[in-house]
Amino acid sequence: MSAPNHLKNSQNRVVHYIKEFYRFFKHLIANKALLRVLIINDFKKQYLGSYLGLLWAFIQPLTFMLVIWFVFTYGFRSAPHGDTPYFLWLAPGMIPWFFISNALNAGTNSITNNSFLVKKVAFRVSILPFVQIGSALIIHIALILFLMIMFLLYGLPPSVYWIQLPYFMLCIVLLLLGISWMTSAIRVFIKDVDNIVDVLLQIGFWATPIFWNINIIPPKYQWIFKLNPAYYVIQGYRDTFINHKWFWQMRNVTFYYLVVTVFFVILGAIVFKRLRPHFGDVL
């Protein structure tokens, strides 16, 4: 194949995938009512039949945060970070991580857990990971409201920097969507993907500066930890609630995060599109 023809084919593929992205988001907008119903039903289904019902969605993460707070406040005697109590410093790191962990786990299993929908010809299967992410987003928003109340109870007034929270939520959603497209599609054929994601999330939890400060790492090695995309959103939440910085003040990290997000969205879309025709043969 000649170089001009190869270049032309590459350009055609790029245009094709751009059109696919456009059709996907157009489908989301056109079917927002259906999407809302699917998200709410999935959210309710997780806790259906238990006595406390939907309260478990908030009891579990809040309990975990309180345990970590108790251990590092009274066990290891962690001092406040500047003028900020340790719990208020910890929560903006834990809450986005809960969202990332829960949404990625659910998104990875979104196809296999909804195999009855996959076999429906008229159903757009690619929205299933988005449904799982949307379900986790409900809990995330509720925990953010809890965090805002905690700041008020500690006597800290609302800040104009809080208005950038939707930006960081969007950043997480887009990254999770790209990764979930890839992992959910591969999960149909390789069951080990679910366990691999669990292991990576466990490693990621301890490798991300959630309950420890990145400043304890020598400056020349900090860039290694900043390669973790979760660092950007967790630091962004702390900048929003504590440090009072705008996201564009982290120019280099913001650019890196957006490049990584675009990469995973494109890769996830390609993997999902290539494997989608074979889902029915396996499920």
Distance in angstroms (rounded) separating the CA atoms of residues 25 and 127: 10
Burial class (CB in 10 A: 0-12, 13-18, 19+), 164: middle
CA-nearest of 278, 113, 96, 238 to 180 is 113
Burial class (CB in 10 A: 0-12, 13-18, 19+), 264: buried
Banded model confidence at residue 269, pLDDT cuts 50, 70, 90: confident
Kind plus residue range of the DSSP H or E element containing 101:
helix 86-108
pLDDT for residue 72: 64
Banded model confidence at residue 220, pLDDT cuts 50, 70, 90: confident
Three-state SS string over 21-86 comes to HHHHHHHHHHCHHHHHHHHHHHHHHCCCCCCCHHHHHHHHHHHHHHHHHHHHHHHCCCCCECCECH
Distance in angstroms (rounded) separating the CA atoms of residues 245 and 95: 19
Mean pLDDT of 177-192: 93
Sole residue written with tokens 């055609």: 12
Banded model confidence at residue 184, pLDDT cuts 50, 70, 90: very high
- State both tokens at 5: 């023809």
CA-nearest of 281, 256, 283, 269 to 126 is 269
pLDDT for residue 259: 95
Of 221 and 82, more confident? 221
Mean pLDDT of 35-58: 71
Question: Which residues sit opposite 84 in a β-bridge?
Answer: 81
Distance in angstroms (rounded) separating the CA atoms of residues 16 and 71: 52
Banded model confidence at residue 177, pLDDT cuts 50, 70, 90: very high
- Per-residue exposure over 57-72, b if at least 16 CB sit within 10 Å of its own CB, e if not: beeebbeebeebbeeb
